[in-house]
Copies of this chain bind each other. A is one copy, B any other.
Amino acid sequence: MTATTDQGAALRIAAGRKPFVEPLRLGERVKEIRLANQWTLEDVSQRTGLARSTLSKIENDQISPTFSAVQKLIDGLGIDLPQLLSPPKVQTRTMGRRDLTRRGHGELHPTPTYEHELLSCELAQKRMIPFKTIVRARAFEEFTEWVRHDGEEFLMVLEGEIRLYTEYYEPLSLSDGDSIYFDSAMGHALVSTSEADAVVLSVCTRGDGTS
């Protein structure tokens, strides 16, 4: 009768991982979305190609839709599955944090070739890592190997002039105010080409958990 008629299977499921099967009020969710858009069952039927009756039963948890039906739903409603499944939108969105760094008050990390100044290091869980770098290197030869890390990097020259060496491209000259965005898994290295050391601002994405 119900959509979750499991009879004997329930026993076997016990061998599985989660003892309690998430109810996953899918129907409820669909209805929510439908009403939020002020659509009637007929409208959704048009959009999804599913019968009005079918939609009604899905919304009332009277049937467990076929996966192909779910597909029709998701691209009929113009949403994606995660959206359909995350029942509440309780995104527990961390918000309201902030972290100020006054000029010259970042955390210093000197290396032979660069002098890094980490910029917002009070904040622990952040998606970007900003830092100011004084480029000491004057020749590509000073690097023993490519600098390389997961994610992406944005870089803007604040002072002076640099030359950006990358693994797959010809070297590039950048002056004060120029900026570049690149995949940082591609080997890269910076040298100053101006008299004084150049200064650049970089922002890297954090190695995230999506992998």
The answer for the CA separation of A91 and B6 in the assembled complex, in Å, is 35
The answer for the CA separation of A9 and B68 in the assembled complex, in Å, is 12
**Number of chain A interface residues as a range:** 35 or more
Q: Which residues of B contact A181 (CB under 8 A)?
A: 98-99, 101, 119-120, 123, 126, 128, 130
Scan residues 69-101 of chain A and give those whose CB is less than 8 A from a CB of chain B: 69-72, 75-76, 78, 81-83, 85-86, 91, 93-101
Tell me how many chains of this kind the complex includes. 2
Q: Tell me if A166 is interfacial: C-beta within 8 Å of chain B.
A: yes
Q: Which residues of B contact A180 (CB under 8 A)?
A: 98-101, 120
Contact A85 B81 (CB under 8 A): yes
Q: Tell me if A172 is interfacial: C-beta within 8 Å of chain B.
A: yes
Q: Tell me if A13 is interfacial: C-beta within 8 Å of chain B.
A: yes
The answer for the CA separation of A76 and B64 in the assembled complex, in Å, is 18
Given the contacts A71-B22, A98-B169, A152-B127, A13 and B211 also touching, CB distance less than 8 Å: no
Q: Ordered nearest first, which 10 A-B pairs have the shortest CB separation?
A: A103-B177, A9-B49, A120-B181, A98-B182, A64-B68, A12-B49, A95-B183, A95-B185, A13-B49, A17-B78
